[in-house]
Amino acid sequence: MLKSPSSKYQRFDPVSLPNRRWPSQTISQAPIWCSVDLRDGNQALAVPMNVSQKLDMFDALVKCGFKEIEVGFPSASNTEFAFNRRLIEEKRIPDDVTIQCLVQAREDLIEKTVESLIGAKKVVIHMYNSTSPAQRKYVFGKSKEEIIAVAVKGAQMIKDRLHRLTAGGTQVTLQYSPESFSATEVEFAKEISEAVMDVWQPTPQHKMILNLPDTVEVCMPNVYADQIEWICTNLKNRESVIISLHTHNDRGTGTAATELGLLAGADRVEGTLFGNGERTGNLDIVQVAMNLYMHGIDPQLDFSDMSSLIHMYERTTGMTVAPRHPYSGELVFTAFSGSHQDAIKKGLSGYEQHKTIWDVPYLTIDPNDISREYREVIRVNSQSGKGGVAYLLESEFGIELPKDMQREFGPIANDIVDKLGREVSGTELKDMFWKEYIERDRPWSLADDSFHMETCGIHSFRCTGKVCHRPEVVFPGLPTEENKRMAEFVSVSLTDCSTVNLSWKPFTGQGNGPIAAFADALITDAGAPSFEVTTYREQSLSSGTEAAALAFIQIKTATGKLVWGAGVDTNIELASIKAVLSAVNRAG
Ligand code: KIV
Ligand code: ZN
């Protein structure tokens, strides 16, 4: 790169528009949309679509609600000509959909374009010629007057052939694009557009479309907006013209340019799905439409089935949608940071309660509205906080960890994920939880079928059963507790007792509740270290008579350490007893 880029590049001269109005406008309704996927998008593909791929895409665009679709450049390729004929002859175009064809201002090309459209119900014939100083100088070697003459001649040639379509009942709208408009002097763009208007004679009842392309983004989007407002203000017979925007994305601001162009008075927007198109692409129509949607404006386009639309797009174009592409990307509804996950979790549960206006932090829209699932919202990696871990357990398995327990399990899970060095799924997370809490049967384990609880007087319970005490398995090569957990997670079994000769010891205990009775049995009869139960919570895991109960217990050891345990059983009493044992075992 150059040390002083000004020796090679220069700033684009903005339009003088001291009283610009667009900054204080707002967008309150959807523009007229026109998809140019099958033309501008298609011509930018390494392998252009074949007829059947184009049909596939056409049907999908119709399904999304596009009423104007630029189907091709029929004079430039036989495939595009054949495609038009198939659409028309097989009556594939719904009555409320207009097909549009691009053509240069040349007689033979105009002739072929008209021929390709015979029999259609509603068409737009879109003529363009390039108008910028660089195009005039290098590409055409023509003066401004000569460039105007090309446009006027082309406009007349089209007008002269219209009867061939209208005679058969085709409704024709005419469109002119001064290509490279944004790099053209506005006065000249106005002059050439008005010259075309003089030929086509649009009226408020039968408007023409004036499309003002940002063929190559050469300036900031506010400058494009100034250009659009300047044209809207100064063009003669404005009420007979639909002003259309056609932005590309060379400076990465195609969406902004279109939105500001709408503020500046434009009525119509051309673009493609996911921004396919020459170089950095065309405007991504999905983005502008979804931006309206997130402001509560009906975009008049339906992207409810975003996933199918992406599959269609990838199948027909061979392109992919980037994971962070606004709205459509795979990672758009994924939060990696713990604080984001926490906020999303709270926001989602708040939204569940009021169900009115969407105000969930970090999620611009409800992923569900475009067929994205909540489970895509959060994945757990080593950066995820306790909130992300808890959210995944709750959303995927209905496990509602008590707050304090989230604080305990979050770092344990993160540690394992960190050592694995990758993201983990909800199922893996649940496995970790099960290994850490539910499957803890050392040093103390209970012979389930020996356990019995009975009441003995008011507020008094007595339990009997058998426990055995086995020391922890020691892995000499695994120095830390964390490594041991890792070993568990990668399936080194710590709990296989079948080969061990267990000696079961009977116990009896009494207390003012089942948990207190069991705690008494463990401490006073079986000889476990002293503890007291500080918190107890239970929940059911699934509905129906076979529903499993999940119990959470927090204990405080003699040294004041707070430790959580969890137990699962179809019998809620047994679930809580197992939770006590899990906490005692975890206390070590
Ligand atoms: O980008 C452009 O200028 C075009 C025109 C042909 C409308 O695609
Ligand atoms: Zn274009």
CATH code of residue 458:
3.30.160.270
Taking the CA of 177 as reference, the closest ligand is 1
Give the highest mean pLDDT range of 254-263, 342-351, 497-506.
Answer: 254-263
Q: What is the dihedral of CA 179, 183, 188, 194, to 10 degrees?
A: 40
Residues measured by CB to lie within 5 Å of ligand 2, the ion: 40
Q: What is the CA(352)–ligand 1 centre distance, in A? A: 46
Given the CA of residue 179, which atom of ligand 1 is nearest to it? Answer: 3
Is residue 159 within 8 A of residue 112, CB to CB? The reply is no
Is 308 inside a domain boundary? no
The rounded distance, in Å, linking the Cα atoms of 580 and 553 is 6
| 236 and 119 within one domain | yes
The rounded distance, in Å, linking the Cα atoms of 34 and 285 is 9
| 502 and 428 within one domain | no
Is 416 inside a domain boundary? yes
Q: What is the CA(347)–ligand 2 centre distance, in A? A: 41
Among the candidates 303, 326, 348, a domain finishes at 303
pLDDT at residue 499 greater than cutoff 50:
no
Is 10 inside a domain boundary? no
Tokens 């006073």 found at: 524
pLDDT at residue 377 greater than cutoff 50:
no
Q: What is the CA(246)–ligand 2 centre distance, in A? A: 6
Is 296 inside a domain boundary? yes
Minimum CA distance residue for ligand 1 atom 2? 215
The pLDDT tens digits for 276-322 are: 999 999 999 999 999 999 999 999 999 999 999 999 999 999 999 99
Over residues 535-542, mean pLDDT:
91
The rounded distance, in Å, linking the Cα atoms of 128 and 70 is 14
Given the CA of residue 270, which atom of ligand 1 is nearest to it? Answer: 7
Tokens 């932005």 found at: 247
Is residue 49 within 8 A of residue 273, CB to CB? The reply is no
Minimum CA distance residue for ligand 1 atom 5? 179
Specify the pLDDT at position 545. Answer: 56
pLDDT at residue 478 greater than cutoff 80:
no
For 494, 527, 566, the CA distances from 472, given in Å and listed in that order, are: 8, 16, 19
| 262 and 154 within one domain | yes
Q: What is the CA(300)–ligand 1 centre distance, in A? A: 24
The pLDDT tens digits for 358-367 are: 999 999 999 9
What is the DSSP annotation of 305-323? Answer: THHHHHHHHHHHH-----T
Q: What is the CA(413)–ligand 1 centre distance, in A? A: 53
Minimum CA distance residue for ligand 1 atom 8? 40
Q: What is the CA(550)–ligand 1 centre distance, in A? A: 63
Domain count for the chain:
3
pLDDT at residue 78 greater than cutoff 50:
yes
Given the CA of residue 211, which atom of ligand 1 is nearest to it? Answer: 7
Is 1 inside a domain boundary? no
| 293 and 194 within one domain | yes
Q: What is the CA(282)–ligand 2 centre distance, in A? A: 6
SS3 270: strand
Is 2 inside a domain boundary? no
For 32, 182, 211, 335, 431, the CA distances from 425, given in Å and listed in that order, are: 43, 49, 49, 14, 10
Q: What is the CA(255)–ligand 2 centre distance, in A? A: 14
Neighbours of 269 (CB within 10 A): 23
Encoded tokens for 402:
């008590």
Which of 179, 218, 243, 269 has the most ligand 1 atoms within 8 A of CB, as the residue to mutate? 179
Given the CA of residue 181, which atom of ligand 1 is nearest to it? Answer: 3
Minimum CA distance residue for ligand 1 atom 3? 215
Given the CA of residue 180, which atom of ligand 1 is nearest to it? Answer: 3
| 205 and 109 within one domain | yes
The CATH number linked to 412 is 1.10.287.1400
Ligand 1 pocket by Cβ (under 6 Å): 40, 102, 128, 177, 179, 211, 213, 215, 246, 248
Is 556 inside a domain boundary? yes
The rounded distance, in Å, linking the Cα atoms of 106 and 586 is 83
Q: What is the CA(166)–ligand 1 centre distance, in A? A: 26
Taking the CA of 211 as reference, the closest ligand is 1
The rounded distance, in Å, linking the Cα atoms of 457 and 512 is 10
Taking the CA of 275 as reference, the closest ligand is 2
Cα 176 off chain centre by: 35
| 174 and 47 within one domain | yes
Torsions phi, psi of 413, nearest 5?
-65, -45
Encoded tokens for 382:
């080593």
- Under DSSP, the state recorded for 29 is S
| 368 and 236 within one domain | no
Taking the CA of 215 as reference, the closest ligand is 1
Q: What is the CA(271)–ligand 2 centre distance, in A? A: 8
The CATH number linked to 80 is 3.20.20.70
Q: What is the CA(100)–ligand 2 centre distance, in A? A: 14
Give 491-494's long-range contacts (Cβ < 8 A, gap of 24+). 494/442
Q: Are β-strands 122-130 and 171-179 bridged in parallel, bridged antiparallel, or unpaired? A: parallel
The rounded distance, in Å, linking the Cα atoms of 459 and 171 is 87
- On average, the pLDDT of the chain sits at 92
| 60 and 40 within one domain | yes
Is residue 582 within 8 A of residue 566, CB to CB? The reply is yes
Which of 177, 214, 218, 247 has the most ligand 1 atoms within 8 A of CB, as the residue to mutate? 177
Higher-confidence residue of 376 and 79: namely 79
Is residue 53 within 8 A of residue 290, CB to CB? The reply is no
Is 314 inside a domain boundary? no
Among the candidates 437, 469, 504, a domain finishes at 437
| 410 and 485 within one domain | no
Q: What is the CA(448)–ligand 2 centre distance, in A? A: 73
Among the candidates 437, 463, 492, a domain finishes at 437
| 241 and 143 within one domain | yes
User: What band does 400 get if pLDDT is binned at 50, 70 and 90?
Assistant: very high
The rounded distance, in Å, linking the Cα atoms of 308 and 321 is 12
> How many alpha carbons fall within 13 Å on the CB side of residue 93?
25
| 163 and 225 within one domain | yes
Given the CA of residue 40, which atom of ligand 1 is nearest to it? Answer: 8
Which of 40, 109, 180 has the most ligand 1 atoms within 8 A of CB, as the residue to mutate? 40
Specify the pLDDT at position 477. Answer: 60
Q: What is the CA(184)–ligand 1 centre distance, in A? A: 13
5 exposure class (CB count in 10 Å sphere: 0-12, 13-18, 19+): exposed
Given the CA of residue 39, which atom of ligand 1 is nearest to it? Answer: 8
Torsions phi, psi of 3, nearest 5?
-70, -40
Is residue 74 within 8 A of residue 51, CB to CB? The reply is no
Over residues 389-400, mean pLDDT:
88
Q: Quick one: which of 234, 298, 289, 286 has its CA closest to 264?
A: 234
Specify the pLDDT at position 483. Answer: 53
Q: Quick one: which of 291, 256, 251, 286 has its CA closest to 272?
A: 286
Helices then strands, counting H and E runs in the chain, come out as 18, 15
Higher-confidence residue of 13 and 259: namely 259
| 462 and 576 within one domain | yes
Q: What is the pTM of this model?
A: 0.71
Percent of the chain with pLDDT over 90: 79
pLDDT at residue 396 greater than cutoff 70:
yes
At 333, which amino acid appears?
F
Minimum CA distance residue for ligand 1 atom 1? 215
- Report helix, strand and coil shares of the chain as percent, to nearest 5: 45, 20, 35
SS3 534: strand
Given the CA of residue 102, which atom of ligand 1 is nearest to it? Answer: 6
The rounded distance, in Å, linking the Cα atoms of 505 and 136 is 98
- The range of the structural domain enclosing residue 211 comes to 28-303
User: What band does 441 get if pLDDT is binned at 50, 70 and 90?
Assistant: confident
Tokens 């799924």 found at: 425
Is residue 429 within 8 A of residue 380, CB to CB? The reply is yes
pLDDT at residue 25 greater than cutoff 70:
yes
The pLDDT tens digits for 93-145 are: 999 999 999 999 999 999 999 999 999 999 999 999 999 999 999 999 999 99
